[in-house]
A and B are shown apart, each in its own frame.
Chain A
């Protein structure tokens, strides 16, 4: 009897909170799998990177469409993939470029219905067909940016060389109070090491990967962190942090002396990434998910997103609403010279798992 009770709980656990209906155009699913514009079919189970969306945008969506948004967070594409592969059900995820390719290959994504996404036309043309999703059938660009190093200028000095040696050189970094923080992310961190060693981000030869792993293992790393790296930097826990551009700017802005810190793109090269919104194949509320994507594609909402995250927006129509300071900042919207340094992470097929394995070896496991 108790088992039955518990199993019933399991069955009911899909919808933890009741859907509240208030104003806004709301209809429930019409059962044939197609989604209309602005249609919702229950709450939105959003699985996103932490600190990646303005809470006001969530609140605005909840109010306009009368549905709850339940947020869960991850700190790397691989963690997200592990959850999806394990069968945990979400309605909307935010995978990066190469991960989209992997998930399409594995059949984990649902095809998007363009009819439910009228705001798609707001996207900049260069984001409509990307190498990882050539026809744009499975993903919609969300934000793009770079991965580099945040540095404490009072530690590294004003005339430092913008190089990965700031993170990887054990001698140079030995004197840094608190050491270095690297991203807890296989592709990014192994990629950074590969770049420093002169390879491509997508190099899969085991020799090169072993070199990269050795480099990481020898570095003066205090912690591998993909969440707190900006805060640890400005709090003085570490002197150099490996991380994503926008999160650094948000953190610098909140300090009393923002000029004490800087974000640099190392001269050996760095990652240019594009994050996207995608719907898992087994999503329970795909129509709400479509509506949310459309909501974020709106020009003003897209601008609000960038104004909050300090990442670059793929939304061309949003540009007129984005803070001019952000548009003109070369660290956020890189200039041509910087673009030449950037490389995108690509799906390496069967070799993909090597990055994860060598990263774990580097971390001492």
Chain B
């Protein structure tokens, strides 16, 4: 009896200690994350005055009504398609690449991985600028194409430049989960398939591909979500027109001066991402 009592007290003490250890972090996040999030939600119901200032009164649903109207819908669809295209392209190019690395000897694998890590850890902004530099109509690519008798390269400010920039930026985020899934796979199953006279392609289609699915899903989510809310790449390579989701939201705070609408949009985007992430976890994603 005494033992049980002592144990219970020890457990409560441990529990309290655990809570206290993490308390500074929890307080910080509540103060500087949860509360700001609440404030944004509140702002989405505020009024926008005729000069673009925000009045925290006359609560209304105008901003939310606007979120579901035609113009933002166009922006959502545009961004969605762009994110989808980015994801598909990343997948198509990354899968063979990850497969190639996974099928090398361990030492070679390490080296190849490091070579992928370097761009991965390099400053994202700089990598995007490198693309802009390369694709300009006065840039190196253009000079080369003109030397070869062709036209100067006119990719900047088009949706193609944005797409290239997004794929360039996010491919490592597709490669790594794919590689992880392939590396962890039980390859003896592939061998078994081969032993059963399955051709290379069949073995791949029926064994490898399904087994690597978690990696495909993980990589797709890891690319799609940030691509959907992308701001830096479209701004630098796309010239800001037509606006994608990220730029559209920023616009509401910078020039359009419609904070309630911008807040409603921000909350919407976050909800979409939240749902996508939950979907990913439900489908058996183990790590985030």
B52 touches A353 (CB 8 A): yes
Interface magnitude class on chain B: 20 to 34
- Is residue A118 contacting chain B, with contact meaning CB distance below 8 A? no
Residues of A contacting B156 in the complex (Cβ-Cβ under 8 angstroms)? 237
Q: Which of B24, B31, B51 is in CB contact (< 8 Å) with A106?
A: B51
Q: Does A365 contact B (CB under 8 A)?
A: yes
Question: Is B206's beta carbon under 8 Å from chain A?
Answer: no
B251: CB under 8 A from chain A?
yes
A225 touches B51 (CB 8 A): no
Known: A78-B255, A81-B257. A352 touches B50 (CB 8 A): yes
Assess the B257–A356 pair: CB atoms within 8 A. yes
Cross-chain contact B254 with A236 (CB below 8 angstroms): no
- Give B22 Cβ to nearest chain A Cβ, in Å: 14
CB atoms of B239 and A223 under 8 A apart: yes
Number of residues of chain A lying within 8 A (CB) of chain B: 36
Q: How far is the CA of A82 from the CA of B255 in the complex (A)?
A: 6
With both beta carbons as reference points, the residue of chain A lying nearest to B28 in the complex is identified as: A3
The verdict on A199 contacting chain B, using a C-beta distance below 8 Å, is no
Chain B 50-79: CB-based contact to A (< 8 A → 1; otherwise 0):
111100000000000000000110110010
Digit string of B245-272 for contact with A (CB within 8 Å is 1, else 0)?
0001001011111000000000000000
Q: Given A106-B51, A235-B137, A365-B75, does the pair A356, B242 have CB atoms closer than 8 Å?
A: no
B241-A363 in contact (CB<8A): yes
Q: Is the CB of A357 within 8 A of B242?
A: no
Within 8 A of B (CB), among A346-365: 349-353, 356-357, 360-361, 363-365
Q: Is B243 an interface residue (CB 8 A)?
A: yes
Residue of B nearest to A362 (CB): B241
* Nearest A-chain residue to B158, judged by Cβ: A222
A193 within 8 A of B: no
* Assembly CA distance A186 to B255 (angstroms): 9
Q: Which residues of B contact A79 (CB under 8 A)?
A: 254-255
Q: Is A76 an interface residue (CB 8 A)?
A: yes
List residues 176-203 of chain A with CB under 8 A from any CB of chain B.
Answer: 177-178, 184, 186
B224 beta carbon closer than 8 Å to chain A: no
In the complex, A34 has a CB within 8 A of chain B? no
Known: A85-B52, A353-B52. A178 touches B154 (CB 8 A): yes
Contact in complex: B241, A364 (CB < 8 Å): yes
* Contacting residues, chain B, for A353 (C-beta < 8 A): 50-52, 257
Cα distance A350–B53 in the bound complex, in angstroms: 12
Neighbouring A residues of B248 by C-beta, 8 Å? 365
Give every chain B residue within 8 A of A240 (Cβ-Cβ).
none
| Minimal Cβ-Cβ distance residue in A for B74 | A364
* Residue A264 is within 8 A (CB to CB) of chain B in the complex: no
Asked if A365 contacts B154 (CB within 8 A), the reply is no
Q: Encode A197-228 as 1/0 by CB contact (under 8 A) with B.
A: 00000000000000000000000011111000
Is A265 an interface residue, CB under 8 A from the partner? Answer: no
Q: Are B52 and A356 in contact (CB under 8 A)?
A: yes
Give 1 or 0 for each of A323-357: 1 = CB within 8 Å of chain B CB.
Answer: 00000000000000000000000000111110011
Contact assessment for B241 and A223 in the assembled complex, using a CB-CB cutoff below 8 Å? yes
Q: Tell me whether A102 is interfacial, beta carbon within 8 Å.
A: yes
Cβ–Cβ contact B154 & A360, under 8 A = no
Is A225 within 8 A of B28, CB to CB?
no
Contact partners of A184 in chain B: CB under 8 A: 240
Contact string against A for B residues 132-158, beta-carbon threshold 8 Å, 1 for contact and 0 otherwise:
000011100000000000001010110
By a CB distance below 8 angstroms, the chain A residues around B72 are: 365
Distance in angstroms from B264 CB to nearest chain A CB is: 14
Report the Cα distance A221→B255, complex, angstroms. 20
Which residues from A are CB-within-8-Å of B31? Answer: 3
CA of A40 to CA of B162 in the docked complex: distance in angstroms?
47
Contacts A223-B157, A360-B251 hold; do A78 and B50 have CB atoms under 8 A apart? no
Docked-complex contact A177 and B154, CB < 8 angstroms: yes
B243 touches A363 (CB 8 A): yes
- Contacts A78-B255, A350-B50, A365-B71 given; indicate if A224 touches B239 (C-beta within 8 A): yes
A306 CA to B51 CA in the complex, in Å?
33
- Interface-central residue, A3, A76, A82, A86, by most chain B CB under 10 Å: A82
B242→A352 contact, CB < 8 A:
no
Asked if residues A356 and B256 are in contact (CB atoms below 8 Å), the reply is: yes
Q: How far is the CA of A350 from the CA of B251 in the complex (A)?
A: 20
Q: Is the CB of B256 within 8 A of A360?
A: yes
Please provide the chain A residues from 70 to 84 with a CB less than 8 Å away from any CB of chain B in the complex: 76, 78-79, 81-82
CB distance from A350 to the nearest CB of B (A): 4
Neighbouring A residues of B24 by C-beta, 8 Å: 2
Interface string of A219-259 (1 = CB under 8 A from B): 00111110000000001110000000000000000000000
Q: Report 20 cross-chain contacts, Cβ distance below 8 Å, ordered by A residue.
A: A78-B52, A79-B255, A82-B257, A177-B154, A178-B137, A186-B255, A222-B239, A224-B240, A224-B241, A235-B137, A237-B137, A237-B156, A349-B50, A350-B50, A353-B51, A353-B257, A356-B256, A360-B251, A364-B75, A365-B71
Contacts A356-B256, A360-B256 known; list 10 others, CB within 8 Å: A81-B51, A82-B253, A82-B255, A85-B52, A184-B240, A223-B241, A224-B239, A237-B156, A356-B52, A365-B248
Which 4 residue pairs of A and B lie closest in terms of their CB atoms, listed nearest first? Answer: A364-B242, A223-B239, A350-B50, A78-B255
